[in-house]
Structure 1
């Protein structure tokens, strides 16, 4: 093939992709009518580094009319996958295109197909906080308990995104979905606390039976996650939840991270994390709760990590002892 012809074909392919992305079906049809060989080629062609097909582009951009044409006129396979093993259903679910999701399901798309890292369409939908698409997938048989390669199920993902209505819905249709840990032993409560999802943390504490002092493989609890990331409102919520369930003194805070005195794998306390993050309000709460400064495995006190004046001020008048 001559260089000129190769360049011309490349331009034609770019044009077709642009028309699909823009949903200009009439112009797309006109282009194919000019070249019968092109019609045959686009049915099986994968584009670019991602290896997407025209089906992927149509589903991703939510053009149902284009998707219908590709399936029913060009007879493209709805299960074609790209280099990451994504199917068109993954794309439609990920971007929240309800009509495309329902069309693909009606045409028999595999509901729990796996892309790279074992993500299902339902997991993808949970990243977008689109309740309607999540409901459609579950009502068509999607399994909310499946886990990806990191050990996350869709409940974990929804907890990270922070929509309490989706959390409530998932707990209704799959009551055990909360009871899960990732491969590094992180629960959805860890995830919600880390990402500052206050309303989700509140829902999880109300409806789920998490062990409040549950530690991941690094020894971090949800309480420590909240402190480390400066989510003072969540730290308070977790501490209050603990106090409601126990009547003993602060020295017995053996729950919730509350073993307030819990240490991670490097012997760092929640106070170390709060000081490292320069979160003055969190440091104040910990000191008020009675947490004493201590040495980590490197011989460092938490106060030595404090840099900001408002954090340093909190330690004035407090003696340090190993």
Structure 2
């Protein structure tokens, strides 16, 4: 009998019957089947968590399943549950954390906790649950320095971003978000507002700016937020920056990156984004500026 298949479809009655029949009172057999990993390193509990079957998860834990077991890439069952947003997945997170003792501080190979995963997936209910239970969990970073706020901003999850900013504000003791949090940079020098605009999430960018997001920031390559939006071809983001964020007045329109001396127009032209090029030209971009090789935007 394929126990992993039964866990996948969520047939708790059949799963319990088959495991009880196979293992009886033999603890070695129970351990063998509970701990058995498929080709991806998933145990039965991983699979229940992945597919949102809380009743199966409860049964497996009652029989001694390891709650913090790691699959390939070092993902725990609670991480898999945090990656989805259905009622079943939310119930599994609460069960694993509240009753089964899941360790929310464990990290996968990328240095992410289950909280990073929940923020990336937009699982607001789980994000709020974890923040209420572990208020300090918002202030964590992955291996590349990325925070949960980076993850939520990149994915465009407005309400998750709002919740994170609210928590940051509370932790700083002030009425606005902690400036260090809203402008935190990853290892490439990218703050959350860059990620939001690269993804075309203007509503998220507006919220970050209203919370103190720094539009004058530069990443490790010397790129501005306008460079980032233009390179990604995000028309709405570029329009927002030109019309609402005064990037012209901030001196960004013809600003060049530190290493390759590229303007936003160079990047938009190189990536073949004609609508972005049009917006920049309409705003007065200088098409005669040369990069480090002496090339104008039309020639890159």
Give the TM interval when normalised to the shorter protein. 0.7 to 0.9
Larger Rg: 1
Show the counterpart of 1:62.
Answer: 10
Classify 1:205/1:55 alpha carbon distance in 2 versus 1 (closer, same or farther; 3 Å): same
Contact 2:82-2:123 at 8 Å conserved across structures: no
Q: In the TM superposition, what are the counterparts of 1:29-108 in structure 2 within 5 Å?
A: 54-75=2-23, 76=29, 77-108=33-64
User: 1:218-241: CA deviations, max 9, x gaps?
Assistant: 111100001111110011111111
What runs of 5+ residues in structure 1 fail to find an aligned partner? Answer: 1-41, 43-53, 243-255
The match for 2:173 is none
CA distance in 2, matches of 1:205, 1:89: 33
Q: Residues 35 and 43 of structure 2 are in contact (CA less than 8 Å); yes or no, is this contact kept in structure 1?
A: yes
Cα distance in 1 between the residues matched to 2:221 and 2:260: 8
Q: 2:81 corresponds to which residue? A: 125
Q: Distance in 1 between matches of 2:139 and 2:283?
A: 44
Which residue of 2 is the match for residue 201 of structure 1? 161
Distance 1:182 1:299 in 2: 30
CA contact (8 A) 2:49 2:57 kept: yes
TM-score w.r.t. length of structure 2: 0.80
**RMSD across aligned positions (CA):** 1.9
Which residue does 1:46 correspond to in 2?
Answer: none
When residues 318 and 137 of structure 1 are mapped into structure 2, their CA distance, relative to the original with a 3 A threshold, is same
Which residue pairs with 1:111 in the alignment? Answer: 67
Q: Which consecutive aligned stretches of 4+ in structure 1 deviate over 6 angstroms post-superposition? A: none
Deviations 1:190-243 (A, max 9, x none): 00000011110011011125622211111111000011111100111111111x
1:289 aligns with 2:289: no
Structure 2: how far apart are the matches of 1:165 and 1:267?
A: 37
Provide the C-alpha distance between the structure 2 equivalents of 1:60 and 1:309, rounded to a whole number of angstroms.
46
Deviation at 1:146, TM superposition (A): 1.1
Per the TM alignment, residue 70 of structure 1 is displaced from its structure 2 partner at its CA by: 2.4
Per the normalisation by structure 1, the TM-score is 0.74
Cα distance, 1:86–1:310 mapped onto 2, change above 3 Å: closer
In the alignment, what sits opposite 1:157? 117
In structure 2, the CA distance between the partners of 1:137 and 1:301, relative to structure 1 (3 Å rule), is same
- Which residue of the partner structure matches residue 222 of structure 2? 267
How many residue pairs get aligned? The number is 255
Structure-1 separation of matches of 2:152 and 2:6 = 33
User: Unaligned regions of 5+ residues in structure 2, if any?
Assistant: 24-28, 169-177, 291-300
Cα separation, 1, equivalents of 2:58 and 2:283: 65
Find 1:136's aligned residue among 78, 95, 98: 95
Shift of 1:112: 0.8
Which residue, 208, 229, 234 being the options, matches 2:199?
A: 229
